[in-house]
Structures are given as C-alpha cells and as structure tokens.
Amino acid sequence: MKILITVLACLLITIESTAQNDIDVLLAAGIEDAEHFANDYLTPGSNGIMHSMNANWFNSAKAKPLGAFEISVIVNASLVKDEHKMFHLNTADYNNVQFVQGPISQMVSSVLGENDPEIFVEVEYDDPIFGTQTTQFELPQGIGESSRNLLPTAFIQGALGLSSGLELKARFVPKIDTDDVSLGMYGAGLQMEFTEWLPASKMWPIAISGLMAYNHLDGSYDITGSSGIEGENQRIENDTNTWLFQFVASTKLPVINFYGGLGYIKGKSESDLLGSYRVTNGILTTETIVDPFSVSSEVSAVRATIGTKLKLGFFRLNAEYHLSEYDAFSIGVNFGMR
C-alpha cells in the first residue's frame, strides 16, 4: 500500500508541476496567456484523476445488516485515451504567443502526452528599455508513455451496516507530508438498498440500491527550489472535490456475484500557482508577480459500471470496469464480517 501511495503522490505532483520548466517565459508572455495555456494543458490530467477517484465505491447492491463491516484496500486507474494526450492550441486566442513554424492552430501536448517532434513558440513582451522583444521556447512535454496510459489512485476503505438497508462508507489515503510535498485524500458515502424496503425482500433474486459519495483531494508542492525563477514561497496547491450518484444492481449468490450500475460524476479541480516570481523581461529588467494565476477544470459525466465479486468467508475479492469519458478499472481486496 505504501508503494501505491508513493506512486500516486508522484503522479499527482507530476501532473500539477510539469509545466513549471518554462514558467519564466510563460509568465513573461503575460498572466492571461500563461493562465490560458496552463488551463488547457492541465485539464485532461485533472479530469482523469477525478474519474479514477470515484471507482470501487461499491461491490454489491446488497446493503450490509446492522453491525456488519468490511475493510478494503482498493487500487483504481483511469485509462488515458489518445484524445486526452493533445489539445488544440490556436494562437489567435492568445495575446503574445505565436508558433515558430506551421499554421496558427496546431495540436500540442497536454500534461498526459508528448510533443514529437518538439514544438516551439515565440513570445512577445515589452521591455521598458529596448521596447518590444521576442524570445522562443519549447512547449512543455507531458508525462507521455511513462504513465503507461494509466492515472492511478488508491484508498483504504471501510463499510458499516446501519440497518434498514443503509450502509455507511468512508475512504482515505494516509497523509503524505514531506519538505516539498503535502497530499491528502478522503471520502464518504451512503448506500441505500431499495429492495430491502419492499415486502418479502429476501425472495428477490437481485438487490437494487442507490449510492451517493463524496471525494476530496488536496495537495501542495513547494517549487521554490526547482522553478528556475527567483522568488519566495513558490508553490502549487490543488483542491479537488467530486460527487458520485449511482444506481446499482447485483445478484445475491453465496460465493460469486455480479454487479453493475449507471451513475453520474460531478466534480471540480482547482490549482493555484502561488508565491512571488521575479520574471525576467529582457536582459536588464525584471518584474515581480505575486500569486500569478489559478486554473480549474470540471467533470460532468455519465458512467456505466460492471463488476464481479468473489466471497470466501471473511475474504473477498472484487474487480470492476467503468465506461465513461475516461474509462477506469479497479481491484479491491476486502476483509469483512457478513
């Protein structure tokens, strides 16, 4: 579990900080242009993580009876499609950015892709001494094939039966807090079995329930020593919140069961570039920019789920697949009573 959490932290940090390599020139192009690019560049990664966070909230539509519980170790991953690796950059939408070669509108790498070959742009800025100046730089690469086209998340999750067809769920990632990185993830959910409220519920061959779940992620990455720009208290902070609403149906067999459902994910991820940055404008002049910009992305997507669960006494194993804007899969190792 510790290894999985470390991988998750590294991935999230990479997604939020990959663009910092050329941040000096991006900021010199102007806050508006830098914010526009960063938003388009980061959105596919943020949205993929939001889909990954919402996998494996359930492994049955049958709610646990009063006092019954289950503890799970869950590993999720959303799948990166080719369409998530690139985005359409039209320099007509920018104030001070032009491509060095080619048309004004080109496909460029998002945080999940890579530019092959490299793509260069020209940035125009005003120097108070020499007037209008230009400089060239390479657009940032993404994580590319190093991610194996996966965006993983991992949780420890617990479920407790409350009686009357209600089941309370909670999940978390142990807090990561180092000199440069702080990361926390948690969530809570409530599952309601509708068939439990019907007459002769035990006679039904399937269970049907509804689920409402909330996920939260917050992280901070200190880039003061790695941004390549003079300044103080430089950091990237992220705050991500999602809601999941899902209908679930499952069989009620003793050992092997199958489950599926239809759900809706709603979420928002916000990233802030904070601190002070002394940006070079030409050879002799600099400009200090404080808390340059914030970017955000939102998810609003329907998803379908299919899964299976093996139950051998107190040990259970489940696997599931989700079809949505970002497909995802998940495996859970579960230990429980009843």
The model's pLDDT over 174-204, given as tens digits with 9 standing for 90+, comes to 888 887 888 899 999 999 999 999 887 677 8
Whether the upstream peptide bond of residue 117 has omega within 30° of 0, thus cis, is: yes
Contact 291, 306 (CB under 8 A): no
Tell me the three state secondary structure of residue 94. coil
* Whole-number pLDDT of residue 23: 60
* Whole-number pLDDT of residue 148: 81
* Whole-number pLDDT of residue 15: 53
Q: Is residue 311 within a helix (H) or strand (E), and if so which, with residue range?
A: strand 293-312
Higher pLDDT, 73 or 234: 73
Cα(190)–Cα(192) distance, integer angstroms: 7
* Whole-number pLDDT of residue 216: 97
Lowest model confidence (mean pLDDT) among 64-68, 120-124, 176-180, 260-264: 176-180
* Whole-number pLDDT of residue 204: 82
Cα(137)–Cα(129) distance, integer angstroms: 22
Cα(127)–Cα(222) distance, integer angstroms: 30
Cα(234)–Cα(23) distance, integer angstroms: 12
Q: Is residue 303 very low, low, confident or very high in pLDDT (cuts 50, 70, 90)? A: very high
Q: What is the mean pLDDT of the chain?
A: 87
The whole-number average pLDDT for the span 211-217 is 97
* Whole-number pLDDT of residue 25: 58
The whole-number average pLDDT for the span 224-250 is 89
* Whole-number pLDDT of residue 282: 58
* Whole-number pLDDT of residue 4: 40
Question: Over the stretch 48-102, which tens digit does the pLDDT of each residue have?
Answer: 999 999 999 999 999 999 999 999 999 999 999 999 999 999 999 999 899 999 9
* CA proximity to 135, closest of 29, 23, 286, 285: 29
Tokens of 282: 């030409």
* Whole-number pLDDT of residue 175: 83
Alpha-carbon torsion, ordered 125, 126, 127, 129, to 10 deg: 150
Best-predicted range by mean pLDDT among 18-22, 132-136, 326-330?
326-330
Q: Is residue 3 very low, low, confident or very high in pLDDT (cuts 50, 70, 90)? A: very low
> Is the pLDDT score of 227 beyond 80?
no
Question: Over the stretch 283-300, which tens digit does the pLDDT of each residue have?
Answer: 556 778 899 889 999 999
> Is the pLDDT score of 220 beyond 90?
no
How many distinct helices (H) and strands (E) make up the chain? 3, 17
* Whole-number pLDDT of residue 1: 41
Residue type, 327: D
Cα(215)–Cα(51) distance, integer angstroms: 11
The residue whose two tokens read 């440069």 is 180
* Whole-number pLDDT of residue 283: 56
Q: Is residue 8 very low, low, confident or very high in pLDDT (cuts 50, 70, 90)? A: very low
Question: Over the stretch 21-31, which tens digit does the pLDDT of each residue have?
Answer: 456 556 767 88
Tokens of 22: 């050329």
| Sign of the dihedral through C-alpha 222, 227, 228, 231 | negative
% of the chain surpassing 70 pLDDT: 88
> Is the pLDDT score of 10 beyond 80?
no
